[in-house]
Amino acid sequence: MKAGYAYQNYINGEWKSAQGESEKVINPANEKVLAEVNLSSPSEVDEAVNAAKRAQLFWKTVPAPEKGEMLFEISQKLREQKEELSQILTAENGKPIQEARGEVQEAIDMGFYMAGEGRRLFGQTVPAELPNKHAMSIRSPVGIAGLITPWNFPIAIASWKMFPAIISGNTVVWKPALETPGMANAFVRILDECGLPAGVVNLVHGAGETVGNAIVEHEQIDIVSFTGSTKTGRLIASKAGSMLKKVSLEMGGKNAITVMDSADIDLAVDGILWSSFGTSGQRCTAASRVIVHQDIKTELEKVLVKRSKELTIGDGAKEETDVGPVISRQALENIHEYVKIGRKEGELLCGGRILSEGQQGKGNYYEPTIITNVQPSAKIAQEEIFGPVIAIIPVENFDEAMRVNNDSAYGLSSSIFTKDANEVFRAMHEMDTGIVYVNAGTTGAEIHLPFGGTKKTGNGHRDSGTASLDVFTEWKSVYVDYSGKLQRAQIDNN
């Protein structure tokens, strides 16, 4: 799109311009204006909710296999347009094009997987405790789902929420991030092209304090699913909780990679580089702590620093780019402030600079940064930085490594590199996170398993996998008594 083009809302099957002021959409690689997006008001959220309410009366009656066939067609269309979608994603988000393709593939995979759920959506049948009585449980849709998604994975996370919601019979009001409206519009256009009925998915662009808040506080929205900061998640939980809404939160992370003395160091470095500097560290699953056994610390640092300096930093649209820009100038400044603190809390091994020369000076680039000899309680070892910054923490043994790994307010993802089978199985049970990797980095979730974390990372719900169906459905217990007489459980049975 060219500067001056304004992305529209999609409400009740129609594209409509929002009535508010416009905001520029910026390419973080070069700070060029890509397009504009008009900001919506609470009244437009209300219009979207009314459309979703009407559509849900019909949509919940559509047989789930038929919904699945529609999701299958949508997934095929996503696959056909994968490269075009990836290019849009990289332009708005900045991530390297290979990563963008991987993210679009996640949405494709999620669509095909949830299409299959149209033939399952399993409940349970159980023995009744009285004769001539049938007992079972079935899933029912919650109603209208308000989805609030971030800019760092604008189509993957949207698919994790949207596809389970609609296969279960819910309708959707979606607020994407203002940084990535083109990705959202391209996604919804595919839904429209594939014939998704009007009102099933409604797209409303706007700021969190207006559109996001209106979604959370709307009386007709039955469930809110949010991915973003812990601070915002807490506000959503308090508001939605007071209204007795169902709430699913996926928030921050302070993930650690543990490297034990038996580890394959080259493999561990591969995992650290990908987990820490992929997406420029702007992942909730990014590894910002490396817990390393003191016996191999020097060797690991030597290889890690060398490999870090060899990474190609630049425009994500170029195939050779390893590390792209961060999302904004404000993000650059926030990262740099943390690095200033980190230099006082440990020893800077490499990086630590905002890149300001040549082509890099035209975008938002931060040099991959490694700080060593950091204490577990240090600020850079406890707070989410959301940038390409690693804090290296030395430990004496496995037990200390587990204590340091779990010494975090967050609990999303953990990783351990080791050749010791006993350490592998102990780590699986002792790491207090929702995701555990062995001999791999902290990122790279597969869509058929639950995604989410413990502690301040979330509120117990999960995106992705069949666990996501529990977010968007209510359990209904059904008893069919064909005895021809009144039977009173627990009374007549004793």
Residues carrying an active site annotation: 284
Identity of the amino acid at 445: A
Helix (H) or strand (E) holding 436: strand 435-438
Q: How far is CA 379 from CA 132, 338, 340, 421, in A?
A: 64, 8, 11, 33
The C-alpha atoms of residue 195 and residue 201 are separated, in whole angstroms, by 11
Question: Given the structure tokens 């390893």, which residue do they identify?
Answer: 322
- The alpha carbon of 16 is separated from its chain's Cα centroid by a whole number of angstroms, namely 28
> Which tokens sit at 165?
């919601």
- The alpha carbon of 122 is separated from its chain's Cα centroid by a whole number of angstroms, namely 25
On whether the CB atoms of residues 12 and 199 are closer than 8 A, the answer is yes
> Which tokens sit at 7?
């992305």
Spell out where 46-179 has E strands: 124-126, 133-141, 144-148, 171-175
Other beta carbons within 10 Å of 119: 10
Beta bridge partners of 174: 147, 203
Beta strand 413-417 pairing with 255-259: parallel
Question: Given the structure tokens 């989805």, which residue do they identify?
Answer: 147
DSSP states of 373-393 as a string?
S--TTSHHHHS---SSEEEEE
On whether the CB atoms of residues 438 and 416 are closer than 8 A, the answer is yes
> Which tokens sit at 320?
């050779």
- The alpha carbon of 442 is separated from its chain's Cα centroid by a whole number of angstroms, namely 14
210: helix, strand or coil: helix
